[in-house]
Amino acid sequence: MLVRGIRGAITVVSDDKELVIAATARLLKKMQQENQFREGDIISVFLSATPDIKSVFPAEARRLLQWDMVPLMCFQEIDVAGALPLCIRAMVHINSDKEQDEIKHIYLEEARSLRKDLIESPAILP
């Protein structure tokens, strides 16, 4: 079994606690669905938020997913001029038998613009 990293990102329309938690949960759930892993396959999850998100730690979304035993850590994204605002990024490390090119990276909402090369068809992602 190999360790694989799954990348993803999502944006919110405002820095609102409920929006941030719901968006993070939606992103992580989509990452899980598309890559077909179980909670027990997760090694760790790193979450970053742009400096304009201050209302809540995105890791609080774990409660909505019931990922009670998953180690999560939050970071502040580097404040780069012109960067996509109100963005939450995720890196999920899993144990998997999948090859690197079988991993599906998930970018939702305005974050789709970040890595068009990693998403198959932005039109089909909710």
Per-residue pLDDT of 38-88, as tens digits, reads 999 999 999 999 999 999 999 999 988 999 999 999 999 999 999 999 999
In the structure, what pLDDT confidence band is assigned to residue 125 with cuts at 50, 70 and 90? very low
63 labelled catalytic:
no
- Let me know if residue 122 belongs to a domain: no
- Let me know if residue 99 belongs to a domain: yes
CATH number, position 99: 3.30.1330.40
pTM for the predicted model, two decimal places: 0.90
- Let me know if residue 59 belongs to a domain: yes
Using only the alpha carbons of the chain, give its radius of gyration.
14
Check residue 1 and give its pLDDT. 84
Please check the confidence at residue 126 and state whether its pLDDT lies above 50: no
Taking alpha carbons only, the member of 21, 27, 88 closest to residue 52 is 88
- Let me know if residue 39 belongs to a domain: yes
107 labelled catalytic:
yes
Which domain does 37 fall in, by range?
2-117
Catalytic pick from 7, 34, 60, 110? 7
87 labelled catalytic:
no
* 117 token code pair: 């090369």
- Let me know if residue 125 belongs to a domain: no
Q: Is 124 exposed, middle or buried (0-12, 13-18, 19+ CB in 10 A)?
A: exposed
Catalytic pick from 62, 87, 109, 112? 62
Catalytic pick from 26, 107, 109, 112? 107
Average pLDDT taken over every residue of the chain: 92
Number of domains in the chain: 1
- Let me know if residue 126 belongs to a domain: no
7 labelled catalytic:
yes
26 labelled catalytic:
no
Please check the confidence at residue 124 and state whether its pLDDT lies above 80: no
- Let me know if residue 124 belongs to a domain: no
- Let me know if residue 67 belongs to a domain: yes
Catalytic pick from 4, 26, 87, 89? 89
